[in-house]
């Protein structure tokens, strides 16, 4: 028969191990929870729901039921600076302050109302497959604050794809007037870890130094 128990504090003992279940004689049993998900235990008592999440950027490495997802690692440089490291198949990206870290932005001088959309960024070193972030374009405001993939590159002329490799259709967007910048998402393509290594990637941090080790058991 189910019996209600008055708890003087909610989950102050945290989530109890199954080995604790049934040990009603132990004080901690009356202060714990059998399951505690998406929340924080306050040492003064009480259980608080965790804060929500925010979208930053799609992972560069595709994820599916038959593929290995990227490895997400937190790097706390100091009490004021923290980063998220995205390790994928031979690459690493950095996320900070709610967005992917980019290289220095370059000026946009033109953008077409075509399908696909084509922009001109003089002097860029980008190649097919690079991810770029566009902002501050006047007129064609629909292109702003978004990330695109370079589908074709000829000099400073770039064809834009969305993050699912579809051509960006700008036919019904506003006409380009002036300004705007494009910045490449910083991506280190020299990571020694392949997709099959990621489940075995281990890290340890001491002060502001992080050490990584990977021994692929397969």
Tell me if 43 sits within 8 A of 56, measured CB to CB: no
- pLDDT given for residue 58 in this prediction: 92
Which band of pLDDT confidence, cut at 50, 70 and 90, is reported for residue 36? confident
**Averaged pLDDT, 198-211:** 93
Write the CA distances from 136 to 8, 37, 145, 171, integer angstroms: 55, 41, 8, 19
> Does the pLDDT at position 10 exceed 70?
no
- State the average pLDDT over residues 77-88: 93
Q: Which residue has better confidence, 66 or 140?
A: 140
How does pLDDT run across 49-73, given as a tens digit for each residue?
Answer: 888 888 889 999 887 777 788 999 9
Rounded CA-CA distance 105/75 in Å is: 25
The single residue listed with the structure tokens 């000099």 is: 155
Which pLDDT value is given to residue 40? 79
Residue with tokens 């993939």: 149
Tell me the pLDDT of the chain averaged across its residues: 90
pLDDT tops 80 at residue 19? yes
User: Could you tell me if 102 and 183 are in contact, meaning their C-beta atoms sit under 8 angstroms apart?
Assistant: yes
Q: Pick the residue with more confidence: 209 or 62?
A: 209
pLDDT at 9: 64
Give pTM, 2 decimals. Answer: 0.77
């Amino acid at each position: 028969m189910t019996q209600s128990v008055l708890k003087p504090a909610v989950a102050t003992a945290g989530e109890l191990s199954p080995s604790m279940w049934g040990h009603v004689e132990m004080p901690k049993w009356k202060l714990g929870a059998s399951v505690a998900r998406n929340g924080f235990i306050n040492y003064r008592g009480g259980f608080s729901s965790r804060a929500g999440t925010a979208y930053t950027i799609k992972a560069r490495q595709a994820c599916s039921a038959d593929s290995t997802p990227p490895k997400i690692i937190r790097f706390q440089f100091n009490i004021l600076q923290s980063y998220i490291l995205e390790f994928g198949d031979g690459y690493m990206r950095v996320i900070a302050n709610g967005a992917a870290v980019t290289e220095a932005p370059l000026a946009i001088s033109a953008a077409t109302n075509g399908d696909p959309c084509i922009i001109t960024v003089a002097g860029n070193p980008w190649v097919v497959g690079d991810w770029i972030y566009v902002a501050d374009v006047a007129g064609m405001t629909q292109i702003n604050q978004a990330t695109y993939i370079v589908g074709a590159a000829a000099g400073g002329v770039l064809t834009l794809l969305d993050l699912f490799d579809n051509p960006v259709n700008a036919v019904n967007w506003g006409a380009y007037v002036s300004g705007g910048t494009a910045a490449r998402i910083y991506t280190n393509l020299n990571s020694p870890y392949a997709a099959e290594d990621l489940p075995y990637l281990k890290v340890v941090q001491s002060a502001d130094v992080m050490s990584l080790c990977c021994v692929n058991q397969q």
